[in-house]
Amino acid sequence: MQLKRLLILLCFSSAAALAQSQTSIRYLANEGVMVTHGDTKILMDPLFRNGFDRYQLVPDKTREAIFAGAPPFDGVDAVFVSHYHGDHFSAEDMLQFLRQHVDTRLYAPAQAVAAIREIASPDDESVFDQVTGLELEYRDPPVSIRTDNIIVEAVYIPHSGWPMARTDVQNIAFRVTLDDNSTILHLGDADARIVHFATDEQYWEERTVDLALPPYWFFDSEDGMKLLENRIDVRHSIGIHVPADFADRENIPKLLLGYDLFTRPGEGRRFEGSQKRIRR
């Protein structure tokens, strides 16, 4: 009887330890995700209003839960915005969210912060105490910010279309480590050329990325695949920013069928920062 009790306790202890070591990611839509490790939660590109008739929008019930701070979106520590385009960011939504969640920090490019300031009232000045605006330009060295439970690292990577288009957009690639355990890389709409990553070679090698979230076109690019497989220390990648019609597997190009993609809002994965393992 005592042995049976001991075995039961060991099982519960092992399950608790496993749950504590795991990190989960939940897909919101387009490039929006929530990442959770223990009590630490972050949102990336979560609030936007425009899908440009091509990309999925965050479902209304999910948006309502995010604003209300209803589970599982309660206790969000930080929000990250990659750039100010309408399929990634809404200044109105972000201002509303910050008003309602005074303990949540926002990390965003200066262009996005400026857009919030344009619509803010004098009564909103305290909101900007929650905001860290990143005034980064191409070739600037990466920046690093440490809080009690999150390491925020950020670098400017040009928006796709470089050097012919959208060169004025501050696209920030955020590398975020939760609880010194799991590291997520969100690339925004990064251009998939090795040249953008060459200057900061040491930066990309100094920390293992447990889960990278590249726009799906990285999987359709020779440079993009070289970056994910060789230049950046990445354990696993999930493609984001997929067209809405990819939700039907028959519409996914054959070239992309072998890669992990987020295609349906609400789907998720679990992974362990130290074990190179992804679970559906």
Residue 9 forms part of a structural domain? no
pLDDT at 21: 67
Which range (11-25, 134-148, 166-180, 262-276) has the least confidence?
11-25
Does residue 20 register a pLDDT over 90? Answer: no
Q: Are strands 105-109 and 131-134 parallel, antiparallel or unpaired?
A: parallel
pLDDT at 29: 98
- Are 231 and 43 a contacting pair, CB within 8 Å? no
**Residues 102-112: pLDDT tens digits?**
999 999 999 99
Concatenated DSSP letters for 88-112? T--HHHHHHHHHH-TT-EEEEEHHH
Residue 88 forms part of a structural domain? yes
Residue 2 forms part of a structural domain? no
pLDDT at 253: 95
Residue 7 forms part of a structural domain? no
The Cα–Cα gap between 94 and 244 comes to 24
The Cα–Cα gap between 128 and 112 comes to 12
Residue 8 forms part of a structural domain? no
What is the model's pTM? 0.91
Q: What is the mean pLDDT of residues 152-180?
A: 95
Residue 236 forms part of a structural domain? yes
Does residue 48 register a pLDDT over 90? Answer: yes
Q: Which domain holds residue 45?
A: 24-265
Q: Tokens 């590249």 appear where?
A: 214
Number of domains in the chain: 1
**Residues 61-119: pLDDT tens digits?**
999 999 999 999 999 999 999 999 999 999 999 999 999 999 999 999 999 999 999 99
Residue 60 forms part of a structural domain? yes
pLDDT at 9: 35
The Cα–Cα gap between 272 and 279 comes to 9
pLDDT at 8: 35
The Cα–Cα gap between 112 and 76 comes to 20
pLDDT at 1: 45
Q: Which of 186, 183, 182, 162 is nearest to 174 (CA)?
A: 186
Residue 86 forms part of a structural domain? yes
**Residues 211-232: pLDDT tens digits?**
999 999 999 999 999 999 999 9
Band (261; pLDDT cuts 50, 70, 90)? very high
CATH (domain of 84) = 3.60.15.10
